[in-house]
Amino acid sequence: MSCTRTLAITPGRVTALKGLAMLLVAILALILPLIAPDPATTGMAVFTVMYVGLASAWNIMGGYTGYISLGHAAFFGFGAYSFGLMINHLNMAPGYLPFVLVPVAGLLTAALAVGIGWVALRTRAATFVIVTIAFMFMLQLLGENLVKLTGGGAGLALPYSHDWGGDFFNIPYYYAMLALAVLTIGVSWWIRRSKFGLGLLAIRDDEDKALAVGVPTRSFKLTAFVISAVLVGMIGAVYAYYVTYLYPQFAFDPLIGISMVLMAFLGGLGTVSGPVIGALLLEPAQMEFAYRFGASRLYLVFYAAVFLIVILLLPRGIVPSVADLVHSWRHRRQAGPTAGGSRNAPASAGEEPPATAQQRLASP
């Protein structure tokens, strides 16, 4: 067997490499608190895994349907405050039991998302972006002014377990965030490969054509919006339990929503692994910049720089760009030096251009 054939990149080998990489990342995520139990490392891991889940959840709406929401912090903050109010009014003892309220916070967030989505999804493009931002600031203002309910600017305190001290403090929250991140990635993976996901991609490609081929665009968009919001709300609930104190300006912080968007853009919109890669790269770097320049908020310059780099150099994100490079390299090797062949000819006989989502939906 020749060296060229041995080193050839085939779809099977690419799939195997992806599976191996996912397995290694999963093992590392599971054993991280055991090999690096110091609070600094586990604290950074909590926020990194949190943003893996947030970016993946946002991608279900923004990446698959093409509706860019900058107001997803509304669902994050609502889930956080829902959890905080429930645990306080139920006088629930701190420990592992309050984690059962996380799905309840998700259901409450779903109810909010139905109302917001019913209004926001009647718009498109820039108008949709503005509407989502408006709802986020509305909830922030409610959090600041409903003092008897939320504590207003003074904040809302949550109980915390005194038994979780020292190096162990971050670990329960880390595994809770990890479980939600895995759930979110699993939901994203399932949607991407389902008929429902195909309909969302058709909406992203051309909503009017998708409607013409029979996609129930209105219900599909609202369903994706609610699923995305529920996952974000549950992550917000665990965040509230972790930080033990909530302020409206932090729970409904626009930077939370912007971070989700930027991480998904960096890794690759509409892909399952893209938001994960974007969060793993961006959040640790952002935390380091915030630690060093937090008082002056110069770390926001880092965000702006990353955004410009992504737009100028990687407009499609890391995962699609790498996939394009591998695909192009493989086709060049398969084509080889063909005599009299055209550069624009297909790499193999019978090869057809990839079908759009609308074409696949329309086919029997």
- The verdict on residue 362 lying in a domain is no
Write out the two tokens for 7.
């080193």
pLDDT at residue number 9: 59
Measure the CA–CA gap between 281 and 188, rounded to whole angstroms. Answer: 20
SS (H, E, C) 115-141: HHHHHHCCCCHHHHHHHHHHHHHHHHH
- The verdict on residue 289 lying in a domain is no
- The verdict on residue 17 lying in a domain is no
Write out the two tokens for 306.
């990353």
Number of domains, the chain: 1
pLDDT at residue number 18: 74
- The verdict on residue 129 lying in a domain is yes
Q: Are 144 and 78 in contact (CB under 8 A)?
A: no
In which element (H, E) is residue 1 found?
A: none
Does the predicted TM-score (pTM) go above 0.85? Answer: yes
Pick from 162, 164, 163, 144: nearest CA to 154: 144
pLDDT at residue number 10: 64
- The verdict on residue 263 lying in a domain is yes
Question: Which residue has tokens 């984690």?
Answer: 99
- The verdict on residue 11 lying in a domain is no
pLDDT at residue number 126: 93
Write out the two tokens for 200.
């969302």
pLDDT at residue number 358: 66
> How would DSSP label each residue in 275-306?
HHHHHHHHHHHHHHHHHHHTTTTTHHHHHHHH
What are φ and ψ of residue 146, in 5° steps?
Answer: -85, 70
For residue 70, give the DSSP letter.
S
pLDDT at residue number 156: 96
- The verdict on residue 191 lying in a domain is yes
Count CB neighbours of 74 within 10 A.
Answer: 31
Count CB neighbours of 313 within 10 A.
Answer: 8
pLDDT at residue number 159: 92
Per-residue b or e along 214-232, where b marks 16 or more CB atoms closer than 10 Å to that residue's CB? ebebeebbbbbbbbbbbbb
Residue 94 CA: distances (Å) to CA of 47, 85, 101, 171, 177: 21, 14, 12, 15, 17
Q: Give me the residues paired with residue 360 across strands.
A: none
Counting as low any pLDDT under 50, the low residues of the chain are: 1-6, 339-354
pLDDT at residue number 172: 95
pLDDT at residue number 352: 41
pLDDT at residue number 49: 98
Question: Which residue has tokens 């917001």?
Answer: 116
- The verdict on residue 298 lying in a domain is no
Name the residue range of residue 246's domain. 46-282
Pick from 71, 108, 101: nearest CA to 84: 101
| Length of the chain (residues) | 364
pLDDT at residue number 17: 78
